[in-house]
């Protein structure tokens, strides 16, 4: 990112001088790399935004029509729940939230049962940021396709973490963020929109081409991009995705899940510790939620940070309905640990020991 920005800190797609063309090439290569990663078709349909929330807002607002019914789940992050809530509050759509089972999975049959005549889209979180379970997208996508319903996936926690095949899973729109498992920096995210999906543009502005036209441009990528791109973010994302491809997504996932299993086994042996939905390494990402009896999750987080230098996320983690489902909404959520590619067995052992010491204070 540093060397790219020193040499190519200019706007792509606006001018024909060398630096501008080189920048455009990096942007196009990143579109290509991500389109291949998600098994899309046309790199121009891979558009960039600030983050997953930004893209989800554009997609949900750009696809919803007055009188639509939208199905989503209790697993969603606020970046899905809130745009849908506002559309509902404004009298545009009606929303149904489908509950997950005791292990943290959505049953595709429950999605099917929620269909109405006016159901236009189903919006599903591929992998929960609270409990880490991976949802059966292929089955849900099949049901949506059979019924002519658009299938939107929030891949914030799965893009770069596990394989995603938009065609095999019948996904119509995939929204992702750059700063998590894609190993990019903050401030970059995006979506891939399949060719047949009539998402309207909801923002207007400069595109660098056809400046005499009064309306915003309908063609991709301009339909969902206006103004100067975060090119330093794109360059970082490019490097991140190439690194993941070099390592192999499956290899990274396997290594992280081995550590997750050690963490889970270690924590569940500690008296006073409750784990949520951590049942099996199958269909699971390396995220673990727990509580320690006698403590608020926030206090455990503070002790882990201050006394042991272990970073975690506590509370409702922007996903309040997950906590309604696992019964932790009224007790201020959970402590959530997540494992990344640079974590080691030593980190995990130290974390188990830290939680054991904290739990021993009150148990």
Ligand X SMILES: Cc1ncc(COP(=O)(O)O)c(C=O)c1O
> Of the two residues 244 and 352, which places its CB atom closer to ligand X in the complex?
244
Q: Pick from 35, 119, 133, 177 the residue near ligand X by CB under 6 A.
A: 177
> Of the two residues 52 and 326, which places its CB atom closer to ligand X in the complex?
52
d(CA 291, CA 131): 13
- Per-residue x/- mask for ligand X, residues 108 to 127, rule CB under 6 A? -----------------x--
Q: Pick from 72, 133, 156, 328 the residue near ligand X by CB under 6 A.
A: 156
Strand 287-292: give its sheet, edge to edge: 273-275, 287-292, 334-338, 313-315
d(CA 62, CA 57): 8
Measured CA to CA in angstroms, residue 170 lies from 32, 67, 138, 193 at distances of 20, 24, 7, 12
Q: Should residue 284 be labelled a site residue for ligand X when binding is judged by CB under 6 A?
A: no
Query: Is residue 336 packed enough to be buried (19+ CB in 10 Å), middle (13-18) or exposed (0-12)?
Result: buried
The three-point CA angle 179-185-186 to 5° equals 70
Query: Between residue 51 and residue 90, which ones bind ligand X under the rule CB under 6 A?
Result: 51-53, 77, 79
Q: Which residue bears the tokens 């960039």?
A: 48
Query: Between residue 312 and residue 351, which ones bind ligand X under the rule CB under 6 A?
Result: 318
Q: Should residue 157 be labelled a site residue for ligand X when binding is judged by CB under 6 A?
A: yes
Q: Should residue 189 be labelled a site residue for ligand X when binding is judged by CB under 6 A?
A: yes
Nearest approach, Cβ of residue 230 and ligand X (Å) = 13
Q: Should residue 285 be labelled a site residue for ligand X when binding is judged by CB under 6 A?
A: no
Number of residues that bind ligand X (CB under 6 A): 13
> Of the two residues 49 and 207, which places its CB atom closer to ligand X in the complex?
49
Q: Which residues are near ligand X by CB under 6 A?
A: 51-53, 77, 79, 125, 129, 154, 156-157, 177, 189, 318
């Amino acid at each position: 990112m540093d060397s790219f920005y020193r040499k190519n800190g200019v706007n792509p797609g606006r001018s024909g001088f060398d630096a501008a063309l080189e920048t455009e090439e990096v942007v196009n290569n990143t579109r290509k790399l991500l389109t291949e990663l998600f098994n899309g078709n046309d790199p121009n349909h891979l558009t960039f935004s600030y983050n997953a929330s930004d893209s989800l807002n554009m997609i949900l607002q750009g696809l919803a029509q007055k009188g639509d019914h939208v199905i989503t789940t209790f697993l969603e992050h606020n970046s899905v729940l809130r745009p849908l809530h506002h559309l509902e509050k404004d009298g545009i759509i009606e929303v149904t939230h489908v509950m997950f089972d005791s292990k943290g999975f959505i049953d595709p049959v429950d999605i099917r049962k929620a269909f109405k005549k006016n159901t236009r889209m189903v919006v599903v979180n591929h992998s929960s940021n609270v409990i880490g379970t991976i949802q059966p997208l292929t089955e849900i996508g099949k049901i949506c396709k059979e019924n002519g319903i658009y299938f939107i996936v929030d891949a914030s926690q799965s893009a770069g973490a596990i394989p995603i095949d938009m065609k095999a899973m019948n996904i119509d729109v995939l929204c992702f963020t750059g700063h998590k498992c894609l190993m990019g920096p903050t401030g970059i995210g995006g979506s891939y929109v399949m060719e047949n999906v009539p998402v309207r543009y909801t923002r207007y502005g400069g595109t660098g081409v056809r400046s005499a036209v009064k309306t915003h441009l309908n063609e991709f990528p301009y339909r969902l991009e206006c103004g100067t791109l975060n090119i330093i973010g794109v360059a970082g994302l490019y490097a991140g995705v190439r690194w993941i491809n070099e390592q192999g997504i499956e290899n990274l996932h396997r290594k992280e899940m081995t550590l997750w299993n050690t963490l889970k086994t270690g924590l569940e042996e500690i008296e006073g510790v409750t784990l949520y939905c951590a049942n099996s390494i199958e269909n699971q990402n390396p995220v673990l939620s727990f509580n320690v009896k006698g403590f608020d999750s926030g206090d455990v987080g503070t002790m882990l940070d201050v006394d042991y230098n272990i970073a975690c996320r506590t509370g409702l983690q922007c996903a309040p309905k997950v906590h309604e489902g696992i019964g932790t909404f009224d007790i201020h959520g959970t402590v959530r640990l997540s494992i990344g590619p640079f974590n080691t067995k030593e980190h995990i052992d130290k974390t188990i020991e830290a939680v054991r010491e904290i739990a021993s204070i009150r148990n």
